[in-house]
Structure 1
Amino acid sequence: MDYIAHVRESDGEPQPLEHHLLGAQRLAEFAGEALGIRHITGLAGLLHDLGKYAIAFQNYLREAVAHPEAPPKRGSVDHSTAGGRLLYDLYHTGTIERGKGTLAEIVGNAIISHHSSLHDYISPELEMPYLRRVRDKEDVPEYEACTRLFFERVMNREAFEQYVERAVLEMDAYFAIPSSFTMEMKCLYLTKYVFSALIDADRTDTRRFEEQIAESEEQAPNTEELFENYYTKLMDKLGGLVGHTSAASRVNQQRREMSEQCERSAYKPSGIYTLSIPTGGGKTLASLRYALRHAIEHHKKRIIYVLPYTTIIEQNAAEVRGILQDDIHILEHHSNVIDELNDDEMDDGLIHIRQKLKLAKDNWDCPITFTTMVQFLNVFYAKSNRNVRRLRHLAESVIIFDEVQKVPVSCVSLFNEALNFLNSYGQSSMVLCTATQPALDVVEHELHLSPDAEIVSNLDDVIKAFKRVELSDEATSRVFTNESLAEWVLARLEEKRDMLIILNTKAVVKNLYERLKGMEHGAVVYHLSTSMCAAHRKTELDKIRGCLDRKEKVICVSTPLIEAGVDVSFQCVVRSLAGLDSVAQAAGRCNRHGEESLQQVYMIDHAEENLKHLSEVRKGKDITKRMLTDMHRDESAHGGFLLSDKALRFYFKQFYADVRPLLKFEIPKLKQNMMKLLFAQFQENDYFQDYCQSYAKRPPQYLLNSPRTAADHFRVIEDLTTPVIAPYGEGAHIIAELNGASRIEDLGRLLRQAQQYTVNLFPYEKIRLDQNQGLEACLDGQILVMREGAYSEEFGLDLENDSWGGASIF
C-alpha cells in the first residue's frame, strides 16, 4: 500500500509519508544544530506523523479527497499520539534509564502537541495530560501496525536505537552547559525549542510539497556575504555624515564616539550588553553597526530588532532599509493577523484554507527582522504554535531590544530568563538599548549581563552633552482637567509654535483633541492613538513632520505610543505624570536634535485619567511624584536632575520593589504564578506536593511543570486582544484580495501586508463592534475585518459610528 501524508490541492498529487517524515527530520536536525541537539530535534521530526500509517487514517484521507462535498469529520483519526507512545513504550517502561526516560518525555510531548500547545506534565487538577496521551489513551489507531511499518519503511530498529543514543548524549551535553538554570528550567526551554523545531520543520516541508518547491530551490541567503555588504553600505553612510558641515558640533562628536564604541564592543564575546544612548544619540545606526560587525565576527545568522510598539517598526525598518538598499531580506512583523485556535488533531492531510494559513511563511527566517516585544514574549510563552515556531530562529542571532524599559512588569522575570536561555544555550547576543536603562539585574530572576556590559563609557558626561530640555514641574502644585489644560495650552501657544501633549489614556486624548480642535488658536491639531492602525499613524506622523519642517503652528495630542522612539521634535512637550522612564522618553520628543536652546517639558497631573486598570502607570506616577517632592526639598537630590543616571537607577529600583509581587506573573484564578508553573523545583511545586499528599506516591514522570496551563493564562497585556484588519487605505484592497487568495505564497504576502492595517481590539471593543454589525470574517472565519463605517479617518476605530445600524449594547 502507498501510505501518504498529504494530498496537494492543485493537482491531487499525494505526498508519500516516508518522504514527509524524512523531510521533517532533515529540517528539524538543521534547526537543532544551533544548540547541538540535532538528533533530539530530528527524532521529533522523524516520529511526529507516525500515526498516519494507520489504515484508518489513510482511508479517512482518501475518503475526504473522493467526497469533498461530504468529507469525514476533520481530526477524527488521531495520528499524533503514536510517535509519543513509541518513545514512552521503548524508554519509559520497565527498567528506565533516566536519560532516555527524560528524552521520551521531552520529545514525546512535542510530538503529541504538534497541532496544539505543549501538554502539561501535571495539571492544576493533579492530572497528568502527557501520560494520559502516551500511556492511557485507548483509541490510538493501529499503533502496533504503525510502529512495524515505521521500522520497515523509514528507519530500521538498530539504526533507530543508535539515533536515540546520540540524542541522549546531546541532551547530557546540553545539561552540562554552565548556567544559572535549574534542571527544571533547562528541561522546559529544551522542550520548547524541540517543539519549535518540529513545528517549523513540519510546516516547511508541507508548504514546499504544496507549492512544488524543491529543497534546493529554497536555500537561505548567504548571510555572511550579505552582512559584509550591509556593513560596507552602513560605513559609507556614516562616512558621509562625518563629512557633513554640522558634523563638528558637540552632539555629533558624541554620536560618532558612541558609534565607534559600538564597533569596538562588537568584537567582544557573545553575551548580554546594554547600550544607554540618550534620546537623539543616533541609537538606530549605532546599534546596527554593532549588530552587523558582531554578526560578521561571530558568525550569527540573523539580526532581530525588538521594539515596544508597532508605531516605530516601520520608521526604523525604513531607515535601515534605506541605508542597506534592500527590500527583500528585511521583514517587518507588526502583529499576528490571525488569532490561531487551539485545534488539536486538525491536520487531516488536506491542504485547505485553514491549513494554508498555518503554512504561510511566518517564522522570522529573514536575515533582518523587525518585531515587537509582545511578539517576542509570545514566542516563548503564548499558546499558539504559530508563535513558538519562531523560537528556533532566535538562536544564533544578534537581538537588539529598543526601548527595553517598556517590558511589562509581569513579564520582566520571564523576559530575563528567555534572554539568559538564548545567551547560555542559543549562541545569541543581546543588546538592551534605551536612554533609561531598567535595573533588570536587581529582580529575583535576574538578567545575567556580561562583564563590563555597558557599551557607552562616561555615561554621565554623555547625558550632560545631550541635555536639550528643562523639566518644569506643574504636577505638585495643581491638578488639571481637560478644560483647564486646554486653556493652559492656548496660553503657551502665544510663545510656542508647536506643542506635543501626551496623556495616559485614549479617552482623555480624544476628548482633549476635540476640545482643542474647536478652539480659536490658529494651530492644526492632530490625534494619535492605538485605535489607529500602523499605516494610519504613519500617515498622520508624516503630516505632523511636514508641519514641523515648515515651522507651522501645530498641536499633537497623543497616547504614550509616540514617546518610544518616534522621530519627531517639538518645541514644547506636555507629559501627564507617569513613570520616570516615560517622562524621559517624552522629553526625547522635545528639541530632539538640539535645534534650539533648552526647551521646556511640562509635567502635569491629570484628574480625568482613569488609571484603575493601568497599575504600572499608577505606581510609576506615584514614585515620580515623590521624587519631585524630594527635589523641591533638596535641589541636589537624585543627582540634581530628574533624568540623571542616578535618578533613573533610583526610580527603577524603587519601582521594582513596589511591584515585587507582580514580577512572578500571578494568576489569581489558579492562586498560582507563572514562574512556578514553568520552573518550580519539586520542593516548590504545589501540584507535585499536592499529588504526593493525595495519592501517597510520586508522579511517575521526571518532568512536572505545566506549560499548557501557563500558556493558556499568558498575556503580555492584561486583556487579550483580537487582531482585526481595518479598511484604511490599502487595507480595503488587502481584505478584497484575501477573500480571493488560494496560494500559500499569496496568503503569506497578504498577511504580511495586512499587519500594518491591523487594530487590536480589547474584548469590550470587539463585542460592541460585533453588536453594531461593524465586524465581518473572511477565509472560513479565520480572519476578522472591519466594515467601512467602523473605521474613522480621524480616530481610527470608531465605536460610536451610527452607520452600521443595529442597537448598541452599551
Structure 2
Amino acid sequence: MEYYARSENKNKEKETVAQHAIRVAKYAEENAASFGKGYEGRIAGQFHDFGKMGHRFQDVLKGIESKINHEMAGACVVRKRYGLLESLEIQIAIYSHHKGLNFALQDNYNNYFDAEFLDSHGRKMSIADPEEFGNAFQIFMSEIKDNNNPIKAPIYDCCKNTKIEQMLAIRMLFSSLVDADYTASAEHFDSHIIDESEGDSLDTQVWIKSLMEFRNNIKQKSSADKHLNRLRDRVFDNCISAAKKPPGLFTLTAPTGMGKTLSLLAFALKHAQEYNKRRVIIVLPFLSIIEQNAKQYRQIHNTILEDHSQTEYDEKSRLYADRWHADVIITTSVKFFEGLFRHMPTDCRRIHSIANSVIVFDEAQCLPHDVICATLETMNALCKKYNSTVVFSSATQPAFSYRKDLDWQPVEIINDNATLFQHTKRVHVNWRMDGKTGFSDLAKEISQSNCCCAIVNIKKHSVEIYKELKSICKSDSDSLFHISTDMCIAHREAVLKEINYRIENKMPCRLVSTQCIEAGVDLDFDKVYRALAPLDAIIQSAGRCNRNGRLLQGEVVVFIPEDERYPDAAYENAANIVKLLSKDADIDIYNANHIREYYRKFYQTFSQDKGDLTKAIDTLNFEGVTNAYQLIPNKGFTVIVPYTKSLELFKEICETARTEGLSPLLMKKARTITVNIYNKKIKDVGEQLYFKPTKAKQEKALSNWFILLDHNLYNEKTGLQLENSESLNTII
C-alpha cells in the first residue's frame, strides 16, 4: 500500500509521505543550520508528517474521514527515539506545525493509543493502534533510507536558558519546520516555487557603492547649513567605523535631522560585509516612515522587500514575503514582533530568517513600556544565540539600563554624542510651566508667526485650536492647516505636501497637529508649540523646528493646555515626570544627563512588563504570550471616507465591497482613504461591510469596516468628525 501526503497535482502526480518527508527534512535542515540546529531541523522534517502513514489519514484524502490529528504520531516517534527532554524542541515543533505552538503534550502522550481519545481540537489520533503504528514505522524508515544516528548532545537544556530563550529556541525550530513544510507542499503543485520565493543574496559591495553615490548626490543638492552637513558627515563616518566592531547589541544616539536613515543603512551594510551576515532588516514603528524610507532605499537599490500590513502582493510575491528570503527588508515593529511573540504557523514562518542578520530599529523610543523586558531580552538572545546584530536608534534613546529586570549593555555607535547634541542646538526651549495656556490665547500667538506649528495630545484640542485660529486669520485662511489621524493618509499626505511647498517658498504657514507628525515627518518650522508630554515626545517635536539650521535659533514653547488631558494614563504619568523635573530647573533637551534623569524616574514608575505577559512567559504559554504581547490595541473600527481628492477611488472601493465583500487586496487598496476610530457612533452613520466568502469559509462574516454614509461628517480640513471620536495610534 502507498501512503500519500496530499492530493495529486495538475500532472496527476501524488506525493508519498516519505517523498514529502525527505524534501521537508532537506529544507528544514537548511533553515535551521543558520543558527546551529540543522540536524534537529532535519529530524523535525523527517517525522513531522509520520502520522499520515495511518489508514485514518489516508481516508481523509479519500474524503471518508475528517478531524484527524496526524502531527502527534511524529512527536511520539521523536520522543521514543531521542528522549523526552533532549528532543523536546523537536516534539513541540512537530506537534504544533498545524494548530500553533503548544507546550502541553503529556495528555496526548498518555492517551495516544486510546482509539476514541480526542485532542483539544476534537480530533482523533491518526494511528491509534500500536500494531499499526509499529508497522507504519518500519515501512516509513525503509522508504526514507536514513539511519538517523543518535543525537550526540542534548538539544534542549532548560537549566541554562531563560524562559524567553527557551521559547525563542522552540519558535526558531518551529519556524524552520513550518517554512520547509509550506515550501515543499507548494513545490509539489508548482516545481518553480523555490526559485520564485528566493530573493537575491546580499551583495554588500553593490549596495554600498550605490549608497555612497546616492548620498553624495544628496549632499551636492543640499541647502542645509554647512555646519549641519559636517555634523551629518560625522554621524555617517562613525557608523562606518563602528561597523567593524564585533557583532552584538548597539545603540545609535544622535539628534533629529542628522541623516540617520542613510547612516544606519551604511552601518548595517558595512557590518554585514565585515561579518558575512545574510540580510539587513530595518524595523520602523510607523507606516508613514516606512513608505518614506523605502522610497529612498529603492533609489539606492531596487531589491528591497517592503513587508507590512498594507503591502500589496500577487500570489508569487506573497510567498517571497512570507519567507523573508530577501537581502534587505523594511518592515514595521508589529510585523517583526508578531513572529517572535505569536504562536501560529503563518506568523512564525519567517522568523528563522532573522538569524545571522543585521536588525536596525529606528525610533526605538516608540516601544511600549509594558513589553520592554520581553522585547529586549529577546533581542539579547538574537545577538547571543542566533548570530545577529541589533541596533537601536533614536534621538531620545531610552535608558533601558534603569530597568532592574533587564540586562542591557549595548555599544554606542556615536563617539561623544553628548557633544554632538550640544553642537546641534538649533532651538531654544521655553518651558511655560507656571500656569495653563488657553486655546484662544495660543491661537493668537500662532497667528503672529508666519512659520509656526502647534502639537497637542488630543485630537479634540487640535480641532478647537484650529477653529480659534481660523476665526482670527480670516483674511489669510490659506496659510492654516490641520493634521491628525482623523484624516485619511491621502488627505494627510496632500496637506504635508502643501505645507512643505509653502515653507520652501517662504509663504505663511501655520499648522495645528496631533503627535502623528512627531517622528518620520520632515517639517522645518521657525517656531513650535508643544503641549506638555513625555520628554521623548517633546524632543521629537523640537526636531520639527529649525530642522535644517536655516535660523540661528528656532523656538520651542512647552505649555500646559487649559484642558489638561492625555491619551492614556501612562502618557500622563510620563508627562508629569517632565513637569516635576522642570520645577527644579529648565530641562535641557540637548543634555544627556537631563535625559538620563528623566528615564531613571520613568523606569521607577514603569518598572516591569504587564502581568499577563510575564505570567504567560513564566509558564511557557505560547498562546497566552500571543494574547498579552500587543504593540497596539486590536479594537476599533476602520472607516472608508469620501476624501474629495480620492472620490473616484472611494466610489470604486464602495461598489466592490458592497457587491463582492472585503478581501485582503481590497482592504490594502482602500487604506489611503481609511480612518481608524474607537467611536461606536459609526454604527449609526456608517454601513458595516462583510468579508468576501472564501472556499474555506462560505458564509458571510461581518467585519469591523464601515463605509461613511454621511459625507458631511468628513471635513476637508479636519477629517472625520464624529462626536467624541478617538482614533487609534497609527503604529501598524
Q: Give the TM bin, normalised by the shorter chain.
A: 0.7 to 0.9
Q: Would the alpha carbon gap of residues 266 and 246 (structure 1) be closer, same or farther in structure 2, given more than 3 Å must change?
A: same
- Write the deviation string for residues 555-600 of structure 1: whole angstroms up to 9, x where unpaired: 3332212111221212221211111111000000111111122111
Partner of 2:398: 438
Question: SS of the counterpart of 2:257?
Answer: coil
Cα deviation for residue 220 of structure 1 reads 3.6
1:675 corresponds in structure 2 to: 614
Alpha-carbon distance change, 101 to 402 in structure 1, aligned in 2, over 3 angstroms: same
Report the equivalent of 1:346: none
Q: Is the 8 A contact 2:201 2:327 kept in 1?
A: no
Alignment-mate amino acid for residue 517 of structure 2: I
Who is 1:344 aligned against? none
User: Judging changes above 3 Å, is the alpha-carbon distance between structure 1 residues 246 and 503 closer, same or farther for their aligned structure 2 residues?
Assistant: closer
Of all paired residues, the percent bearing the same amino acid is 25
Q: Cα deviation per residue 1:386-408 (whole Å; 9 max; x = unaligned)? A: 33223212111111111101111
Q: Select which of 183, 192, 197 maps to 2:176.
A: 197
Distance 2:88 2:685 in 1: 46
The alignment status of 1:644 with 2:644, answered yes or no, reads no
- 1:457 deviation in Å? 1.3
Q: TM-score by structure 1 length?
A: 0.77
Residues of 1 paired with 2:374 and 2:11: CA distance? 46
Change (3 A) 1:51 1:676: same
1:165 maps to which of 148, 151, 156? 151
For 2:319 and 2:399, locate their aligned partners in 1 and report how far apart those are by CA, in whole Å. 40
Aligned to 1:454: 412
Taking a change above 3 Å as real, the CA distance of residues 397 and 157 of structure 1, as seen in their structure-2 partners, is closer
Q: Which has the higher contact order (CA 8 A, sep 6+)?
A: 1
Match 2:70 to one of 51, 75, 79: 79
Question: 1:800 and 1:582, CA in 2 relative to 1: closer, same or farther beyond 3 A?
Answer: closer
One-letter amino acid of the counterpart of residue 501, structure 1: A
SS of residue paired to 2:87:
helix
**Residue of structure 2 in register with 1:670 after alignment:** none
How much has 1:771 moved relative to structure 2? 8.6
**1:142 counterpart letter in structure 2:** I
1:426 aligns with 2:386: yes
Per the alignment, residue 40 of structure 2 pairs with 40
C-alpha distance in structure 2 between counterparts of 1:205 and 1:727, whole Å: 45
Specify whether residues 488 and 292 from structure 1 end up closer, same or farther in structure 2 by C-alpha distance, changes over 3 A only.
Answer: same
The 8 Å contact of residues 35 and 425 in structure 1, kept in 2 or not, is answered as yes
* 1:788–1:184 CA distance, 2 compared to 1 (3 A): closer
Contact 1:503 1:560 (8 Å CA) reproduced: yes
Q: Does the C-alpha gap of structure 1 residues 300 and 589 become closer, same or farther in structure 2, counting only changes over 3 Å? A: same
Deviation per CA, 1:648-690, whole angstroms, max 9, x where unpaired?
A: 1111111001111xx22223xxxxxx23432x4xxxxxxxxxx
What TM-score does the superposition give when structure 2 sets the normalisation length? Answer: 0.85
Is contact 1:591-1:599 (8 Å) kept? yes
How far did residue 197 of structure 1 move? 1.7
Question: Taking structure 1 as reference, are residues 419 and 724 closer, same or farther at Cα in structure 2, changes over 3 Å only?
Answer: farther
Query: In the alignment, which of 79, 104, 123 is matched to residue 88 of structure 1?
Result: 79
Greater CA deviation, 563-572 or 714-723? 714-723
| Matched residue, 1:57 | 57
What SS class does the counterpart of residue 3 from structure 1 fall into?
coil
Does residue 104 (structure 1) correspond to residue 81 (structure 2)? The answer is: no
- Structure 1 Cα separation of the partners of residues 370 and 187 of structure 2: 39
Task: Encode CA deviations 1:191-235: one digit per residue, 9 max, x unaligned.
Answer: 111122222222223333344425356544131x2x211100111
2:102 maps to 1:132: no
Q: Give the conservation status (yes or no) of the 8 Å contact 1:151–1:157.
A: no
Question: Residues 546 and 241 of structure 1: is their aligned pair in 2 closer, same or farther, counting only changes over 3 Å?
Answer: closer
SS at match of 1:573: strand
Kindly provide the amino acid, as one letter, of the partner of residue 291 in structure 1.
Answer: A
Which one of the candidate residues 551, 574, 578 is aligned to 1:624? 578
1:286 Cα deviation (Å)?
Answer: 0.8
What are the residue-to-residue correspondences of 1:254-403 with 2, within 5 Å? 254-322=231-299, 324-326=300-302, 328-334=303-309, 361-403=321-363
Deviations 1:119-178 (A, max 9, x none): 1x4xxxxxxx3222343352312245466435524666993541x515x45557xx89xx
Structure 1 residue 418, shift from structure 2 partner = 1.2
Rounded Cα–Cα distance in structure 1 between residues aligned with 2:671 and 2:552: 37
- Distance verdict in 2 for CA 1:472–1:796, change over 3 Å: closer
Could you give the per-residue CA deviations for residues 507-551 of structure 1, whole angstroms, max 9, x where no partner exists?
333444455456534144433333455555434322332232233
- Call closer, same or farther: CA 1:618–1:298 in 2, change over 3 Å: same
Q: Name the SS for the 2:62 alignment partner.
A: helix
Contact 2:235 2:263 in 1 (8 A): yes
Counterpart residue identity of residue 452, structure 2? M
Residues 738, 257 of structure 1: CA spacing in aligned structure 2 closer, same or farther, 3 A cutoff?
Answer: farther
Instruction: State how far apart, in whole Å, the 2-side matches of 1:795 and 1:332 are.
Output: 31
CA positional deviation for 1:733: 6.2
- Structure 1 stretches of 5 or more lacking a match? 65-71, 92-99, 122-128, 339-352, 633-637, 668-673, 681-703, 742-746, 802-810
2:707 to 787, 791, 795: 787
| Alpha-carbon spacing, 1:760–1:13, altered in 2? closer, same or farther (3 Å) | farther
From the superposition, tell whether residues 724 and 103 of structure 1 become closer, same or farther in structure 2 (CA, over 3 Å). farther
Alignment of 1:699-778 (within 5 A): 705-717=620-632, 720=635, 729=646, 750=665, 754=669, 757=672, 761=676, 764-765=678-679, 768-769=682-683, 772-778=686-692
- Alpha-carbon distance in 1 for matches of 2:11, 2:650: 32
Which range moved further: 304-313 or 152-161? 152-161
Indicate if the aligned counterparts of 1:723 and 1:758 stay in contact, CA closer than 8 A. Answer: no
Aligned to 1:414: 374
Q: Post-superposition shift, 1:189?
A: 1.6
In 1: Cα distance, 2:238 partner to 2:633 partner: 39
| 2:730 paired residue number | none
2:405 match: secondary structure: coil
| 2:256 alignment partner, SS class | coil
Distance 1:418 1:658 in 2: 23
CA contact (8 A) 1:331 1:364 kept: no
- Whether contact under 8 Å (2:298, 2:304) holds in the other structure is no
* Matched pairs, number: 696
User: 2:194 maps to what in 1?
Assistant: 215
SS of 2:549's equivalent in the other structure is coil
8 Å contact kept, 2:338–2:347 = yes
Q: 1:52 Cα deviation (Å)?
A: 2.6
Alpha-carbon contact 2:196-2:320 (below 8 Å) kept: no
Quote the Cα distance in structure 1 between the aligned partners of 2:379 and 2:650.
Answer: 35
User: 1:308, 1:403 within 8 Å by CA — same for their partners in 2?
Assistant: yes
The offset of 1:433, in angstroms, is 0.8
Contact 1:419–1:447 (CA under 8 A) maintained in structure 2 = no
- 3-state DSSP class of the match of 2:238? helix
Distance verdict in 2 for CA 1:572–1:155, change over 3 Å: farther
Query: Could you tell me how far 1:40 is from its partner in structure 2?
Result: 1.6
Distance 1:300 1:726 in 2: 44
Query: Which of these residues, 459, 462, 472, is aligned with residue 430 of structure 2?
Result: 472
Q: 1:578 aligns with which of 527, 533, 538?
A: 533
- Quote the RMSD (CA, aligned, Å): 3.7
Aligned counterparts of 1:758 and 1:169: Cα–Cα separation in 2: 54
Give 1:779 deviation, angstroms: 4.6
- Paired residue for 2:600, among 650, 653, 673? 653
1:538 corresponding residue in structure 2: 493
Once the 2 structures are TM-superposed, how far is the Cα of residue 609 of structure 1 from its aligned partner?
5.3
Q: Is the 8 A contact 1:337 1:724 kept in 2?
A: no
Structure 2 regions of 5+ residues with no counterpart? 118-123, 695-699, 724-732
Tell me, yes or no, if the aligned pair for 1:83 and 1:111 is still in contact at 8 Å: yes
Question: Greater CA deviation, 787-796 or 547-556?
Answer: 787-796
CA distance in structure 2 between the partners assigned to 1:518 and 1:135 by the alignment = 76
